[in-house]
Structure 1
Amino acid sequence: MTLFRLDGKRALVTGGSKGIAFAAAQQLRDLGAEVTIASRSAGNVQAAAEQLGVQGLVADVSNPGDIASLLAQAGQVDILVINAGGPPPSLPSQVTEDGWQKGFQTTFMSAVRLAEGVLPGMRERGWGRIIAITSQTVNSPSLTLPVSNAMRAAVTNHLRTLALEVAKDGVTCNTVAPGLTATERLQSLYKPDEAEAIKKNIPAQRFGQPQEVAAAIAFLATNEAAYITGQEILVDGGNNI
C-alpha cells in the first residue's frame, strides 16, 4: 500500500496564487490530488495555475456570491484549504468599523461559508479534509495585527467546534498556524534590518519556507491523518515553545 497519496481526491485552495497556499497546492498536486486554486486577481491566478498545471478560478472570498460561484465551478471538493489575504497592519486603537467588517468578511466569514459549502458532500461521501491557514499570532498576538489576531482566532475555534460535529462522518477540521515565513506578506511587514533582528528571537534562527508549512497542510489532507482533528498545528521554528 502506497502511503501519503491523494490520488482520486479533489482539492480546492483559496488564495492559492502565491505564498504558503501556492506551495500547498503544489504539494497536494504532487501527492496525486486534482487541484483547483482560487484568487481574486485574475492575472495572478492564471499565472499560478499555468505554472502548477491546475485549474485556476477567480473569486473574492469576502463576497458570498463569489464563494457560491467558486464552489459551483470547482465541483466536488474532498480537500478544502482555506486561505485569505491578511488584514492590513495597524494599532488596535486605529482600526475603523469598516476595517473590522472587512476583516470579518474576508477572514472569518469566508471560512464559515467555504466550509458550509463543501461539508454536505464530504459528509455524504464519508471523507473530507478542511484545513485553514491561520497564524502563530492566534497564540501570541502581534500588536500591529489586531484584526488578523482576532479573526484567525475565530477561525481556529470555529473549526475546532465544527470538528466535534463532523468527526463521526469521516471529516477532519484543522488549522495550520505558520510562524514568520519567507513570503511577500512578510516582506511587506518588515524592513530587511528589522527582519534580521527578528530572526535572532526565533529558536530556529531563521524564517520558515512556504514549502515547510505546506508539508503540514499536505499531511493533514492524507488518509494517514484521519485521526487528527480539531487541532492547531504550529509551524514556527519553535517560536511558541
Structure 2
Amino acid sequence: MKLGIDGKKALVLGASKGLGAAIAVALANEGVQVVGAARSTAAIEALNAQVDTAAGGKIWAQRLDLGDKASVASLLEQVLKYGGVDILINNSGGPAPGEARSTPLDAWQSGFDAMVASVIDMSQQLLPRMVERKWGRIITLTSSGVDTPIARLAVSNGLRQALVGWSKTLASEVAADGVTVNVIVQGRIHTGRVDQLDEAAAKRTGSSVEDVRKASMATIPAGRYGRPEELADVVAFLASEKASYITGAKIRVDGGMIKSV
C-alpha cells in the first residue's frame, strides 16, 4: 500500500532505539525524510542500514535530551530553520518504577519536564508550519497505563494521562486545518524498556526473568510480546494520507492485553 507520504519531513523523538528507532525506519522506508532525535546520534545514523534506498527516504541524527530545555530549544531552532516538519512523533522514555505513596516530588517534576512539558513545547512550536500547509500529523506514544494503571509505575501512569488529555483537546482545535493528532496506547512491545521492567520485577519477587516474562505473556491474548516493527507500521499508517480522517483517537497496539472496552 502506498501511504502517500514520500517526500514528507518527519521528526521522531527517542529515535536511537526501541520504538522510536523502528518508527524512524518505517517512515524512511515510505520515502520520508526523517530527523531522528535522541542522546545517541551514532545509533540513529546507523539506522540507515535498514532503509531501502530505492524508497528515497533517509534518516538524519540530531542530539536531544528531553529533560534539558536548552537541548530542546537547540533542536527546535535547527528544525524550524529548515522549514519545520510535516510529521511529529512524540516518543519519550519512561521514568523509573515507583509507588504513588512514596515517589518524591522531584521525580514527578523531572518526569513532567521530560515527558510532558518538552513534548507540548515541541508540538506547539512545530504546529504553525503544519497549519500553514494545511497538512500535518502529530502522534504521541503513551502506554497501556493510561487505560489500566500499571502497578509501581505511578509517575508514568499519571503523566501520560496528561498527554492524552492534551492530545484530544488539540485534535479538535486543528482538525479543520488538515492536522491530525492521535495517541498510541502500547502494550507489551519487546524493547529494552520492557526488558528493564521484567528484570526489576524478577529482582523484586525473587523470580527468574524468564518466569516473569512467561507470566506476563500469559496475560496477553496474543500470547507474546509485540514487535517494535508492528507498532511502527501502525504509526506509519496514522502518519499517512490515507489516515486523514482519523484524529483525536487512542489507538491500542497491545495484542488484546487491555481488558477494558
Give yes or no for TM over 0.5: yes
Aligned to 2:38: 39
Equivalent positions of 1:69-218 (< 5 A) are 69-74=74-79, 75=82, 76-190=84-198, 191-218=209-236
1: CA distance between counterparts of 2:257 and 2:180? 26
Residues 1-46 of structure 1 show CA distances to partners (whole Å, capped at 9, x for unaligned) of x731311200000001111111111110011110010002344444
Shift of residue 51, structure 1, vs aligned partner: 5.8
Q: Between Structure 1 and Structure 2, how many residues are aligned?
A: 240
RMSD: 1.5
Task: Please tell me whether the aligned partners of residues 116 and 159 of structure 2 are also in contact (alpha carbons under 8 angstroms).
Answer: yes
Which sections of structure 1, spanning at least 5 residues, go unmatched? none
TM-score scaled to structure 2, two decimals? Answer: 0.88
Q: Residue 26 of structure 1 corresponds to which residue in structure 2?
A: 25
Q: Is the 8 A contact 1:62 1:109 kept in 2?
A: no
| 1:238 equivalenced with 2:243 (yes/no) | no
In 2: Cα distance, 1:174 partner to 1:51 partner: 26
Please say which structure displays the higher CA radius of gyration. 2
Q: Quick check: 2:22–2:229 contact (8 Å CA) kept in 1?
A: yes
Task: Quote how far apart the aligned CAs of 1:94 are.
Answer: 2.3
TM-superposed deviation, 1:72: 2.1
Provide, for residues 153-178 of structure 1, a one-character-per-residue CA deviation record: whole Å limited to 9, x for no partner.
11111010001110010001001111
Query: Of 73, 79, 102, which residue of structure 2 is paired with 1:68?
Result: 73
The match for 2:205 is none
1:130 maps to amino acid: I
Does the aligned pair in 2 maintain the 1:45–1:58 contact within 8 Å?
Answer: no
TM superposition shift of 1:87? 0.5
TM-score for both structures, normalised by structure 1? 0.95
Deviations 1:162-198 (A, max 9, x none): 0111001000100111100110111111122101111
For the Cα contact (< 8 Å) 2:15–2:37, is it kept in 1?
Answer: yes
Which whole-Å CA distance do the structure 2 matches of 1:62 and 1:50 have between them?
29
Shift of 1:210: 0.3
